[in-house]
A and B are shown apart, each in its own frame.
Chain A
Amino acid sequence: MPTRIQKQARQDTMLLNMGPSHPAMHGTIRIMLELDGERILNSEVEVGYLHRGFEKTCEHRTYFNLLPYTDRLNYVSPLINNLAYVMTVEKMLGVVIPERAQFIRVLMCELSRISDHLTCLAAMAMECGAFTVFLYKMKAREFIWDVIEQTTGARMTTSYIRIGGVRADLHSDFDTVLKKAVEETRLVLKDVHGLLDKNKIFLNRTRDVAVMSAQDAIAYGWTGPCLRSTGVLYDVRKAHPYLVYDRLNWEVPLGERGDNFDRYLVRMQEMEQSLRIVEQAAVHLPKTARGLIADGIEPAVAIKESRQRRVRKAIALSPNLEGSEGWRYPDILASATGYVVPPKEETYTSIEGLINHFKFFMRGHGIRPPKGEVYFAVEGGNGELGFYIVSDGTDRPYRLHLRAPCFHVVAALEHLIRGRYVADIIPTFGSMNMIGGELDR
Chain B
Amino acid sequence: MEEKKILERLREKFPAEVEETASSLGDDLAVIDKGAVLPVMTYLKGKPEDYAMLLDLTCVDYRGEEPRFEMVYHLFSLTHNKRLRIKTRLPESDLLIASLTSLWKNADWLEREVYDLFGVNFEGHPDLRRLFMYDGFEGYPLRKDYPLRRRQPLIRLKD
**A contact set with B: CB distance below 8 Å:** 1, 4, 47-48, 51, 53, 55-57, 60, 91-92, 216, 218-221, 223, 232, 234, 239-240, 372-375, 377, 384, 386, 388, 390, 398-399, 401, 403, 407-408, 411-412, 415, 440-441
A374 touches B25 (CB 8 A): yes
Q: A57-B148, A384-B55 are known contacts. Are A219 and B105 too (CB-CB below 8 A)? A: yes
Report whether B56 and A411 are in contact in the complex, using a CB–CB cutoff of 8 Å. no
Known contacts A56-B141, A56-B142, A403-B74; A218 and B53 CB within 8 A of each other: yes
Please give, as numbers and ranges, the residues of chain A lying within 8 Å of B105 by CB-CB distance: 216, 219-221, 411-412, 415
Q: What are the 5 closest A-B residue pairs judged by CB atoms, nearest first?
A: A48-B132, A221-B106, A51-B132, A411-B109, A403-B56
Instruction: Give every chain B residue within 8 A of A51 (Cβ-Cβ).
Output: 132-133
For the residues of B in contact with A, the DSSP-based class is loop
A386 x B148 contact (CB < 8 A): no
Inter-subunit contact A440/B55 (CB<8 Å): no
Q: A440 vs B129: C-alpha distance in the bound complex, in angstroms?
A: 16
> What residues on B are CB-neighbors of A60 within 8 Å?
148
Q: How far is the CA of A415 from the CA of B105 in the complex (A)?
A: 10
- Are A48 and B74 in contact, CB atoms less than 8 angstroms apart? no
Chain B min CB distance to A416 (Å):
12
Q: How far is the CB of A415 from the nearest CB of chain B, in Å?
A: 7
Cα A221 to Cα B111 with chains together (Å): 14
B24 interface neighbour in A234, A372, A388, A399, Cβ under 8 Å: A372
* A415–B108 CA distance with the chains assembled, in angstroms: 12
**Distance in angstroms between the alpha carbons of A415 and B109 in the assembled complex:** 13
Q: In the bound complex, how far is the Cα of B133 from the Cα of A98, in angstroms?
A: 43
Please, how many angstroms separate the alpha-carbon atoms of A440 and B141 in the complex?
14
In the complex, what residue of chain B is closest to A94 when comparing beta carbons?
B25
- Asked if A411 and B132 make an inter-chain contact with CB atoms under 8 angstroms apart, the answer reads no
Interchain CB contact (< 8 A) of B78 among A48, A232, A390, A441: A232
Q: What number of A-B contacts does a CB cutoff of 8 Å give? A: 89
- Judge whether B85 is part of the interface by a CB distance below 8 angstroms: yes
Known contacts A216-B105, A218-B78; is A375 also within 8 Å of B58 by CB? no
B132 near A47 (CB under 8 angstroms)? yes
User: Is B40 interfacial (CB 8 A cutoff)?
Assistant: no
* Alpha-carbon separation in the docked complex, A201 to B78 (Å): 36
List the B side residues contacting A384 at CB < 8 Å.
55
* Smallest CB gap from A410: residue in B: B109
A189–B156 Cα distance when bound, in Å, is 49
Q: Which of A239, A388, A441 contacts B81 (CB 8 A)?
A: A239
Partner of B106, one of A56, A240, A411: A411
Beta-carbon contact of A388 and B106 below 8 Å: no
13 extra interface residue pairs, beta carbon distance < 8 Å, beyond A221-B104, A221-B105, A374-B24: A1-B135, A47-B131, A47-B132, A55-B117, A56-B148, A232-B78, A239-B81, A388-B56, A388-B58, A401-B56, A401-B58, A401-B72, A403-B74
- B27-A374 in contact (CB<8A): yes
Q: Which residues of A contact B142 (CB under 8 A)?
A: 55-56
Contacts of A411 in B (CB 8 A): 105-106, 108-109
Query: What separation, in Å, do the CA atoms of A55 and B141 have in the docked complex?
Result: 10
Beta-carbon contact of B55 and A403 below 8 Å = yes
Interface residues in B68-101 (C-beta closer than 8 Å to A): 72, 74, 78, 81, 83, 85
A375 in contact with B85 (CB, 8 Å): yes
* Chain A neighbourhood of B106, CB < 8 A: 219-221, 408, 411-412
Q: Which residues of B contact A48 (CB under 8 A)?
A: 130-134
> CB-nearest residue of chain B relative to A439?
B132
Which chain B residue shows the least CB distance to A53?
B141
Instruction: State A28–B84 Cα separation when bound (angstroms).
Output: 33
Chain A: minimal CB distance from B104 (Å): 6
Chain B 112-150 residues near chain A, CB threshold 8 A: 117, 127, 129-136, 141-142, 146, 148
Q: Which of B21-74 contact A (CB under 8 A)?
A: 24-25, 27, 52-56, 58, 60-61, 72, 74
Task: Report yes or no: A4 in contact with B148, Cβ–Cβ below 8 A.
Answer: no
Contact of A221 among B27, B55, B58 (CB under 8 A): B55
Whole-angstrom CA separation of A440 from B134 in the bound complex = 13
User: In the complex, which residues of chain B have a beta carbon less than 8 angstroms from the beta carbon of A216?
Assistant: 105
Q: How far is the CA of A264 from the CA of B24 in the complex (A)?
A: 39
Note all chain B residues with C-beta closer than 8 A to A4.
127, 129
A234 with B78: in contact, given A56-B142, A372-B24, A375-B83 (CB under 8 Å)?
Answer: yes
